[in-house]
Amino acid sequence: MMRRERTMRSPKRKALVAASILAVMGMWAHAQPPNPQIASSPAFSKGPGDEIERLSSPDPEARAGAADRLGRMGDAAAVAIPALLGILGDNAVLERKAARDTVGGRAAEALAKIGPAAVSPLGAALKDGDPAARKNAAVALGRIDDDRAVEPLVAALKDKDSGVRNTALVALVEGRKDSRSVDLLVAALADRHWYNRWNAIRMLGTLRDPRAVEPLGGALTDEKWNVREAAAEALARIGDRRSVEALLASLKSPYPDVRIRAMNLLLASKDQALADLFQAASKDNSPAVRIAGILALYSIDPRTIEPLMIALKDPAAAVREVAAGALGSAKDPRAVDPLIDALGDENPGVREKGAKALEAITGQKSGLNTAEWRRWRAGAGGGLGR
């Protein structure tokens, strides 16, 4: 009896018994009816058919998850295209917390991953009665590398819904990088919705194509301030001679926001090749243009203070005041005498800026006392800048 017990406890015997038990359990399991909850779990998915079924789940997360898994199957999930098209307009927002992450958006991603087989059905979906479905169809087409996707997207640029038009434009320019991008974007500058015009301008600035300069110049007079500002920034990004000329011309704009933005953008330019443009601008009949011109010249080369000193005698007080302030920043001793003369200016702002500039250059604190400054200049300060 003792020998029998030892035999049962031997490692080989244990393994044999365990294997027998597992085999019996396996046969029992196959004999049982399937557990519906387990069988419907994504982990037990056998192919597109199971996921297609889950696309009609009442749970948005389940529908989105099914779309994701179909997308990962690639072209093997082509059979699911009609079902995915059916939920393109599903606006149920998901838990992922990404901006506007919806079931329809996940369906668009899945269709894009399925690839060329989805192009024609997506083109047809661009005529769907639901704007959300049309928008997601445009997103998907923009992500598929197939030339057949271009014409449906171009047609969608005339959609009655502004969101669809904008999405189609982005899909063509940023998604597919279509060769007609500049022409399409320029055409979009006439869009009825300001956001679409703004977005077209933004993309033109990114492309930096000189063909956009003239249309962008026209956009500087748009009724919406943010469109005008975007046009100025796009011109600055292009940065060629014609775009700078357009910015200089915009300093005479009736819109203050355009004048201010253009001036700031011009001052950021340090291109020596544009110096003659700025030199001409410093003599323009518009005070705003003259200010931009003299400051731009100074920004190109801080050693060039002659235009600033000349501007101290400009007929416009605003120009004189800016020139005095810029000379204080330059701290060039050559400006001392013109600045002392500026202390007698009729405008108090010019006098104050002149006094501060003199203090910055010389270290003297004689304020607005012109006589004291002249005595200092005749004595201790006589050799400075001469």
Q: Decide if 70 contacts 84 (C-beta within 8 A).
A: yes
Assign domain 53-171 to its CATH architecture.
Alpha Horseshoe (1.25)
Residue type, 119: V
**pLDDT by residue, tens only, the chain of 386 residues:** 333 333 334 444 344 334 433 343 343 334 344 444 434 455 445 578 999 999 999 999 999 999 999 999 999 999 999 999 999 999 998 876 555 589 999 999 999 999 999 999 999 999 999 999 999 999 999 999 999 999 999 999 999 999 999 999 999 998 777 778 899 999 999 999 999 999 999 999 999 999 999 999 999 999 999 999 999 999 999 988 899 889 888 888 888 888 878 877 887 776 777 788 788 888 888 898 889 888 888 888 887 789 999 999 999 999 999 999 999 999 999 999 999 999 999 999 999 999 999 999 999 999 999 999 999 998 887 777 66
303-386: CATH, from 1.25.10.10, 1.10.443.10, 3.40.50.1820, 3.90.1640.10: 1.25.10.10
Please, is 125 exposed, middle or buried when counting C-beta atoms within 10 Å of its C-beta (0-12, 13-18, 19+)?
A: buried
Name, in order, each residue with C-beta under 8 angstroms of 129's C-beta and a sequence gap of 6 or more. none
DSSP 171: I
Least Cα distance to 86 among 59, 112, 108 occurs for: 108
What are the residue boundaries of the structural domains of the chain, listed by start? 53-171, 179-301, 303-386
Q: 179-301 in CATH: which number?
A: 1.25.10.10
Residue pair 85/111 in contact by the 8 Å Cβ criterion = yes
